[in-house]
Amino acid sequence: MLDQAGGYTTVDGRKIGGVVMEMKNITLRFGGVVAIKDISFDIREGEIRAIIGPNGAGKSSMLNVISGFYVPSEGEVWFHGEKRPPMRPFEVARQGIARTFQNIALFEGMSVLDNVMTGRLTHMKTGLFSQALWKGPAEKEETENREVAEKIIDFLEIQHIRKTPVSRLPYGLKKRVELARALAAQPKLLLLDEPMAGMNVEEKEDMSRFILDVNDEFGTTIALIEHDMGVVMDLSDRVVVMDYGKKIGDGPPDEVRNNQDVIDAYLGVAHD
């Protein structure tokens, strides 16, 4: 299916580009525990890539490796054709990778708008002093950043809570605000850690729609971890399946669904 040079075309006719990120033989150890064992896969430009697996399979660890929070014990991370040296998470963010968290990590006391604005931090160039005075370039910069933030607020339909402190919001909306903050960074690669966890059906549908729209509208490459199999199979273009830190499957949803190893490990017994 993949042509190595120019990517591939999805079922619904989207053009997927070349490799954006490549994980080469990643192994991650915590003391004696091997969380990830010799895993390789790539993420291509414009695709929605899912990482799935049962509890404890090492999905979140893998996401943390991609986001630079963990440095792999062995193996290499290649981003845009360059090998990435060990980096601090904020340096990774500057490279154009943004993420959301499984347990929401917003600034609870701040308003939705302020939270979204923090996502613009990596794009701010003026110093603390000129921002405090709010003169000249700082003023212009804030206006520009506010514009980006407002477009995202509009996109995710959270205008009505713009000025509401995050602590007052229900869970489903907090998740959406987190996505808004990640998008405010205008990332090249967006990492979503269980975006649908703990949501009801309606909220899941909304979130799925937003993920697809983000990919479609902004052309953002998305890597996501998710438990809900139905959602994963509907949303993603290619799926990596992990079990006990190992990769046991990789390919388009239909292929993965019929992979015997995956059925055995993750889905248990097939019900036919």
Partner 1 sequence: MAQTQSGAEGLLSLPALLHRNATTFATAPAYREKEFGIWQSWNWAETEQEIEALALGLINLGVNEGDFIAIIGHNRPYLYWAMVAAQSVGAIPVPLYQDAVAEEMAYVLGHCGARFVIVSDQEQVDKVVEVQDQLHQFEHLIYLDPRGLRKYDHSHLHEYRHVQEQGRAAHDEFIADLKARRAKLTYDSTCVMLYTSGTTGKPKGVVLSNRNVIESAKNSVEFDHLGRNEDILSYLPMAWVGDFIFSVGQAYWCGFCVNCPESAETMMTDLREIGPTYFFAPPRVFETQLTNVMIRMEDAGRLKQAMFNHFMAHARKVGPRILDGKPVNAWDRLKYAIGDMLVYGPLKDTLGFSRIRVGYTAGEAIGPEIFDFYRSLGINLKQLYGQTEATVFITVQPDGEVRADTVGVPAPDVEIKIAENGEIFYRSPGTFVEYYKNPESTASTKDPEGWVATGDAGFIEESSGHLRIIDRAKDVGTMAGGAMFAPKYVENKLKFYPDILEAVLFGNGRDHCVAFINIDLTAVGNWAERNNIAYASYLELAGHPMVLTAIQQHVEEVNRSVAQDTMLSGCQVHRFVVLHKELDADDGEMTRTRKVRRAIVEQKYADIIAALYDGSASVSTRTEVTYEDGRKGHISATLKIGDAAVQPVAPHKVAAE
Binding site for partner 1 (CB under 8 A): 12-14, 146-147, 150-151, 153-155, 157, 159-160, 162, 202, 205, 209, 212-213, 216-217
Terminal CA-CA length for the chain: 28
Report in angstroms how near the CB of residue 150 gets to partner 1 at its nearest: 4
Of 180, 44, 50, which is closest to residue 114 (Cα–Cα)?
A: 180
Report in angstroms how near the CB of residue 160 gets to partner 1 at its nearest: 3
Report in angstroms how near the CB of residue 142 gets to partner 1 at its nearest: 13
Of the pair 101, 155, the CB lying nearest partner 1 is at 155
Of the pair 39, 161, the CB lying nearest partner 1 is at 161
Of the pair 32, 170, the CB lying nearest partner 1 is at 170
Report in angstroms how near the CB of residue 217 gets to partner 1 at its nearest: 6
Of the pair 98, 173, the CB lying nearest partner 1 is at 173
Q: Which residues contact 96 (CB under 8 A, 6 or more apart)?
A: 185, 186, 187, 188, 189
Q: Which residues contact 156 (CB under 8 A, 6 or more apart)?
A: 176, 179, 180, 183, 210
Report in angstroms how near the CB of residue 163 gets to partner 1 at its nearest: 8
Read off the tokens for 64.
């943390």
Distance CA(198)–CA(69), nearest Å, equals 24
E strand intervals along 8-126:
8-9, 15-16, 19-30, 33-44, 48-52, 74-79, 82-83, 97-99
